Chains A and B, each alone.
Chain A
Amino acid sequence: MEHKNKQRNPYWKWVPAAFALSGIIVFIFATYGPPASSSGFVSLLKGFFDWGAPEYAAAKAHYKAIPGPGSWLFAFVLGMAIGGFIAGRTSKEIPVRDMPPIWQKRFGNSRAKRYAATFFGGFLILFGSRLAGGCTLGLFISGSTQLAISGLYFGVVIFAVAMLTARLIFGKIAEKEEIQ
């Protein structure tokens, strides 16, 4: 009875997953240096401007500081996309959706609305990351691994603000309905 309708949890357990990811992170520190992913965005844009507007790329401090797409930084984010692709294709149980169900319950089925929101949200996370100098990985995880105060400070604030934002946006829906 209790097992009849229970969904099997399709995700890896958090402890072994943390061992796996920290192994990868230590490998990256040993073979490259502090891992980062928001820099991959800069790297890609630098490649674009080097091709289309080389004087602009050469004049801006932000593009001078980061190597172009023929670098570890861009290869890493490209690898992340490939890793996500392989992982998605080899798992039958983890659902791949264009819109999260919790979003649909709150804002309806309009794809345009969801895509506009993620475009805007993506804009915010990268603008913030570039101001701080790193993101969840490049500042919170990498930084805290190196015991940097910047990483710990950034980590506490992003969690607090994201939790508050999610509560303001989805809190009522999550209370009213069973969101699984």
Chain B
Amino acid sequence: MTDIWLGLFSGIAFGFVIQRIGATDAHRMARSHLMLDADIPRFMVLTVALSAVGLFGLQSVGVGRTLPLPTSIVATGLAAVIFGIGWGLTGYCPGTTWAAAGEGRMDAVFALLGGLAGTALFAQLHETLIPILYDPTNVGQITLTDLFGNYAAAVSVLAVGFGLCTWGIGKLWGSGERSVALGRGSDSGTSSGNAGKSG
């Protein structure tokens, strides 16, 4: 029972934050994918870097349960391609469909229903597909710690690497206002006048 209350509480907090950053807005997600708005990708990457450091702290005092998923070169890669097509098309991922549906976005309700259909089909095919796609190239629950030999070193590599990614995303993607300036950049004489209209 405690688990249910903890899950509910965690979900409410999680759903609230992702709505406030705009991850439940498929329009903003599309702009992120088009490299017009850097905030969501760098938010995600920074979240991972901070969580990894936080989890390291928990683990060092013996708290928390971990379960890294195995890597299957074929299945994980193929699944990511299928997932990426759906994410790019709709702007929703499994978690955001729940929050966006709760927010009242009808297209997310349909994404959620489609998700239930996709889950049902995969569950039906599990016994057939897992031995063909997943098992042959399953290399096990490998982590960066296996590569670097030491948990503290591996966390530092991830945190620094992802930190650099947030900086790189900020450089490569335009931020909201900057994309306007860049879009009008070729016609610099009128750019400031036009920028006002575009809002």
- List the interface of chain A (C-beta within 8 A of B): 1-2, 4-7, 9, 11-15, 17-35, 37-38, 40-42, 44-45, 60-63, 70-88, 91, 94-103, 111, 114-141, 143-154, 157-171, 174, 178-180
A125 touches B11 (CB 8 A): no
**Could you tell me the distance in whole angstroms from the C-beta of A11 to the nearest C-beta in chain B?**
4
User: Are A29 and B117 touching (Cβ within 8 A)?
Assistant: no
How many residue pairs link A and B with beta carbons under 8 A? The number is 501
Chain B interface residue count: which class?
Answer: 35 or more
Which of B30, B83, B129 is the one whose CB lies under 8 Å from A129?
B83
Are B78 and A131 interface neighbours, CB within 8 A? Answer: yes
**Beyond A77-B11, A94-B19, 9 additional pairs, beta carbon < 8 A:** A17-B43, A62-B126, A100-B26, A102-B30, A117-B89, A131-B75, A133-B69, A145-B51, A148-B68
User: Are the C-beta atoms of A141 and B19 separated by less than 8 Å?
Assistant: no
Closest chain-B Cβ to A175's Cβ sits at a distance in Å of 9
Q: How far is the CB of A161 from chain B (nearest CB, A)?
A: 3
Inter-chain contact A85/B104, CB cutoff 8 Å: yes
> Are A96 and B92 in contact (CB-based, < 8 A)?
no
Residues in chain A near residue B13, CB distance under 8 A: 24, 79, 83
Flag if A87 contacts B20 (CB, 8 Å): yes
Partner pick for B51 among A1, A26, A79, CB 8 A cutoff: A26
Tell yes or no: B185 within 8 A of A by CB.
Answer: no
